[in-house]
């Protein structure tokens, strides 16, 4: 059960003009479930992508990078769940390119205008013939208001579908940003998340679109961790169809600022939804680090706390064993950290408690206050490093019996 998260209703997801979605059951790994999704893009859409930093990156990630680098007008995305097509060598590359070829034939476009995505088990072969056989059903299902179905069709160990949508006005015209994502385990995105797709009907120049996507990824998917495991398939895509009749070319304009806020807002909502649905999660934890020399060291401290199995099990148990947080801050390898200047607070339900200062427990701290804060489903840890003005937030969940059960059972 996710922590304070419900999939938005289908009617709460604004369609994005120029982007149609279709799903089908192709029996990629299991029968009778939607496991294949196609996004068909009208001519003129611009597409930007960021991908995993994992050296063993999946075959479809290689193909996506290549097709985006060619500068071809992307006209379709095809996504399968069940098999990740990673750790599949030459055979995996062939499966991904065959997929693009089959879809491009059906749509009468070039195969370099297709981006393929896969998610699921690593080191197993993608059943490409079954995938290709499922494509016509996807195309028959193509609809502009199908984001809700697509959000479901890309799930793996997710317990809920993840989607977010915003509509706002630029120069008197309605602009929409809608996105979906999936992921619950192997979540510590390096460049992006497991899979995320965001579209807007604003028009935006290609280099600026890529810049916007990098900023959005850095503020959202690159700030989350379930288990510290960076996936082989992480991909985040931003599509701008331009059909809202709003063209943005200058990052210093108010229009760009509005669009940026909406895209980052949708990206953050989708990224946090992944944590709320993190494998076995019973709590949603924000680690906000401030007072650092730079953002990078704030993130390093945030991730040290967010990755510590001892911190995560203490949250699961609602046990204010907060020395474990201090220990994690201490091993984050921050050069010349003066621990006497570090302060740590625990916050939940609108109340903030000073836990540690001057290298030790705060005089005002009461264990019963800590226990109360730890028992909430939404908890924030705030850390002030006391040596600068940079800050960053990292989002994670607790480590429960359920996490072990899910991952001990995943393939069976």
91 binds its own copies (CB under 8 A): yes
124 binds its own copies (CB under 8 A): yes
- In sequence order, which residues have a C-beta less than 8 Å from that of residue 212 and are 6 or more positions away? 48, 204, 238, 256, 259, 260, 263
308 binds its own copies (CB under 8 A): yes
The correct pick among 139, 317, 347, 377 for binding its own copies (CB under 8 A) is 317
The correct pick among 7, 37, 88, 222 for binding its own copies (CB under 8 A) is 88
Which residues are annotated as catalytic?
193
Q: What's the closest the beta carbon of residue 297 comes to its own copies, in angstroms? A: 12
Give the tokens for residue 299: 């993130």
The correct pick among 347, 375, 387, 410 for binding its own copies (CB under 8 A) is 410
Q: Tokens 């607070």 — which residue?
A: 345
385 binds its own copies (CB under 8 A): no
- How do beta strands 390-397 and 76-83 pair? unpaired
Residue 412 assigned ligand-binding role: yes
Which parts of 19-73 are beta strand (E)? 19-24, 36-41, 46-51
388 binds its own copies (CB under 8 A): no
Region of 24-32, 236-244, 250-258, 308-316 interacting with its own copies (CB under 8 A)? 308-316
Region of 16-24, 30-38, 48-56, 210-218 interacting with its own copies (CB under 8 A)? 48-56
Residue 121 vs 133, nearer CB to its own copies? 121
Q: How far apart are CA 369 and CA 376, in angstroms?
A: 12
Residue 299 assigned ligand-binding role: no
182 binds its own copies (CB under 8 A): no
Run of H or E residues at 397: strand 390-397
Burial status of residue 389 (CB atoms within 10 A of its CB: 0-12, 13-18, 19 or more): exposed
Q: Which of 88, 145, 138 is nearest to 118 (CA)?
A: 88
The correct pick among 72, 159, 211, 321 for binding its own copies (CB under 8 A) is 321
123 binds its own copies (CB under 8 A): yes
Residue 145 vs 340, nearer CB to its own copies? 340
Q: How far apart are CA 200 and CA 15, in angstroms?
A: 9
309 binds its own copies (CB under 8 A): yes
Residue 318 assigned ligand-binding role: no
Residue 241 vs 282, nearer CB to its own copies? 282
Residue 72 vs 94, nearer CB to its own copies? 94
Q: What's the closest the beta carbon of residue 278 comes to its own copies, in angstroms? A: 11
The correct pick among 8, 22, 49, 92 for binding its own copies (CB under 8 A) is 92
Do residues 283 and 316 touch, judged by C-beta distance below 8 A?
Answer: yes
Put residue 391 in one of left, alpha, beta given phi > 0 → left and psi -120 to 50 → alpha: beta
Do residues 223 and 266 touch, judged by C-beta distance below 8 A?
Answer: no
- Return the number of other C-beta atoms located less than 10 Å from residue 277's C-beta: 29
Q: How far apart are CA 345 and CA 341, in angstroms?
A: 13
The correct pick among 265, 291, 330, 388 for binding its own copies (CB under 8 A) is 330
Q: How far apart are CA 375 and CA 239, in angstroms?
A: 40
Number of residues forming the site for its own copies (CB under 8 A): 70
339 binds its own copies (CB under 8 A): yes
DSSP-assigned letters across all residues of 181-222: EE-SSS---SSS-SEEEEEESSEE-HHHHHHHHHHHHHHTGG
237 binds its own copies (CB under 8 A): no
Q: What's the closest the beta carbon of residue 285 comes to its own copies, in angstroms? A: 15
Do residues 158 and 277 touch, judged by C-beta distance below 8 A?
Answer: yes
Region of 104-112, 185-193, 197-205, 375-383 interacting with its own copies (CB under 8 A)? 185-193
Q: Tokens 């476009």 — which residue?
A: 109
- Return the number of other C-beta atoms located less than 10 Å from residue 375's C-beta: 15
Which residues are part of a known binding site? 156, 182, 193, 279, 407, 412
Which residues are part of a known binding site for substrate? 156, 182, 193, 279, 407, 412
The residue ranges that bind its own copies (CB under 8 A) are 53-57, 84, 86-92, 121-125, 185-186, 188, 190, 227-232, 307-310, 313-314, 316-317, 319, 321-324, 326-334, 337, 339-340, 356, 358-361, 399-401, 403-405, 407-412
């Amino acid at each position: 059960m996710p922590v304070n998260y419900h999939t938005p209703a289908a009617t709460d997801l604004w369609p994005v003009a120029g982007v149609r979605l279709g799903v089908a059951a192709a029996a990629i790994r299991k029968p009778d479930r939607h496991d294949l999704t196609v996004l068909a893009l009208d001519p003129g859409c611009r597409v930007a992508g960021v991908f995993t930093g994992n050296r063993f990156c999946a075959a479809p990630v290689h193909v996506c990078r290549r097709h985006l680098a060619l500068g071809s007008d992307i006209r379709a995305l095809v996504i399968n769940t069940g098999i990740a097509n990673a750790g599949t060598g030459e055979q995996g590359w062939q499966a991904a390119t065959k997929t693009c070829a089959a879809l491009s034939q059906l749509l009468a476009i070039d195969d370099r205008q297709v981006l393929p995505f896969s998610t699921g088990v690593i080191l197993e072969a993608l059943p490409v013939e079954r995938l290709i056989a499922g494509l016509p059903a996807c195309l028959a299902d193509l609809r502009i208001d199908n984001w809700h179905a697509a959000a479901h069709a890309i799930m793996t160990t997710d317990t809920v579908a993840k989607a977010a949508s915003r509509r706002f006005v630029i120069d008197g015209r309605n602009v929409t940003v809608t996105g979906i994502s999936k992921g619950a385990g192997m979540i510590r995105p390096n460049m992006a998340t497991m899979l995320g797709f965001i579209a807007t009907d604003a028009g935006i120049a290609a280099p600026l679109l890529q810049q916007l996507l990098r900023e959005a990824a850095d503020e959202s998917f690159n700030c989350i961790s379930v288990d510290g495991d960076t996936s082989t398939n992480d991909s985040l895509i931003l599509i701008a169809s331009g059909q809202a009749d709003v063209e943005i070319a200058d990052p210093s304009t108010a229009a760009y600022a509005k669009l940026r806020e909406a895209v980052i807002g949708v990206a953050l909502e989708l990224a946090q939804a992944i944590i709320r649905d993190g494998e076995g999660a019973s709590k949603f934890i924000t680690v906000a680090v401030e007072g650092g020399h730079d953002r990078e060291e704030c993130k390093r401290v945030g991730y040290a706390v967010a990755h510590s199995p001892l911190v995560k099990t203490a949250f699961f148990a609602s046990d204010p064993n907060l020395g474990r947080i201090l220990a994690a801050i201490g091993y984050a390898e921050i050069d010349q950290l003066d621990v006497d200047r570090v302060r740590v607070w625990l916050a939940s339900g609108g109340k903030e408690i000073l836990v540690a200062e001057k290298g030790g427990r705060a005089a005002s701290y009461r264990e019963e206050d800590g226990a109360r804060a730890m028992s909430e489903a939404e908890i924030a840890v705030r850390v002030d490093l006391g040596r600068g003005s940079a800050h960053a937030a990292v989002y994670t969940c607790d480590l429960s019996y359920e996490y072990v059960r899910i991952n001990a059972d995943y393939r069976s």
